Amino acid sequence: MTTNLTPVAVVHAAIADYRAMDAAHRVALSTYVDDDGEIPEYELPAYDEDRFTYALEADEQLDAVMSALTEAFGLPTDQPVTVLGQWHRTFEVTPGRLDDAARKAFTTGQCHALALALHEVTGWPTTALLTSDCFGNDSMCTGVDEDECPCRIGHVVVTRPDGAHVDITGAHTPGTVPDCEDAPAIVMTEEHWQAIRSKPTWRDADMPLARTFVRPLLAELDAALVAFPA
């Protein structure tokens, strides 16, 4: 779906696309119906297989529609939305509101999304904070230096020009990020990002939600610098 449209045009395009898809599905499925309007038993396996295929297509179109609507209208700022975290957990987070729910979500599964969103705006490099051990039993471990193994990435932050590590909880001197104290830090490479994108143990980065926190977080950081200059 084309998203470079006005919000109303996005809605109209979604309706038109859905109607076209639905009509094509109905026409295809109607070939299984006999003169009495019934589906013969011998046709049921093929009919069910086509129904499954069309359901997947509808699922993909729904994802595209929701992405386009989010781009056109933005996320609601007056109510929480659901975001995926670690270990199949979900969090209810109000876009743009820096509260405990946001801090939990962006330190327990979506830290990489916020780091990417901050990098987009500031250009500050993304940095991985590593866990203590590489056990060498993950496909990410093959052919890489154990000291920089992607399986050891425990948290992703950005590094401010003054050297501070920044995440949803604020700016911290290296080695003092909450729950990652004294963790080794390395610059994220494209190989590290590719490992994150390809591993099911990492959630898809929820960029629309993460981007809503960039301005309030940067404003909070600026206020802290004014109140407590270096």
Strand partners, 81: 93
Shared-domain flag, residues 125 and 61: no
The model carries a pTM of: 0.86
Shared-domain flag, residues 98 and 68: no
Q: Is 19 exposed, middle or buried (0-12, 13-18, 19+ CB in 10 A)?
A: exposed
Q: Which of 24, 40, 73 is the last residue of a domain?
A: 73
Shared-domain flag, residues 183 and 132: yes
How big is the CA angle at 215 (ends 210 and 220), to the nearest 5 degrees?
Answer: 110
Identify the pLDDT of residue 184: 93
What is the distance between the alpha carbons of residues 129 and 38, in angstroms, rounded to a whole number?
Answer: 61
What tokens were used for 87?
A: 């270990």
Q: Is 191 helix (H, G, I), strand (E, B) or coil?
A: helix
Shared-domain flag, residues 69 and 99: no
- Residue 61 placed within a domain: yes
- Residue 86 placed within a domain: no
113 Cβ partners below 8 Å, 6+ apart?
A: 106, 205, 206, 207, 209, 210
Identify the pLDDT of residue 25: 97
Shared-domain flag, residues 36 and 145: no
Shared-domain flag, residues 69 and 105: no
191 Cβ partners below 8 Å, 6+ apart?
A: 144, 150
Identify the pLDDT of residue 35: 92
Identify the pLDDT of residue 229: 72
Q: Which of 73, 108, 128 is the last residue of a domain?
A: 73
What is the distance between the alpha carbons of residues 38 and 30, in angstroms, rounded to a whole number?
Answer: 10
* Full domain range(s) for residue 126: 94-227
Number of domains in the chain: 2
- Point out the residues of the chain with pLDDT beneath 50: none
- Residue 207 placed within a domain: yes
Shared-domain flag, residues 61 and 132: no
User: What pLDDT digit, counting tens, does each position of 127-146 carry?
Assistant: 999 987 665 555 556 555 65
Q: Which of 39, 73, 107 is the last residue of a domain?
A: 73
- Residue 117 placed within a domain: yes
Strand partners, 93: 81
Shared-domain flag, residues 110 and 186: yes
Shared-domain flag, residues 111 and 63: no
Shared-domain flag, residues 69 and 109: no
Shared-domain flag, residues 143 and 221: yes
Identify the pLDDT of residue 199: 80
- Residue 213 placed within a domain: yes
- Residue 143 placed within a domain: yes
Shared-domain flag, residues 62 and 139: no
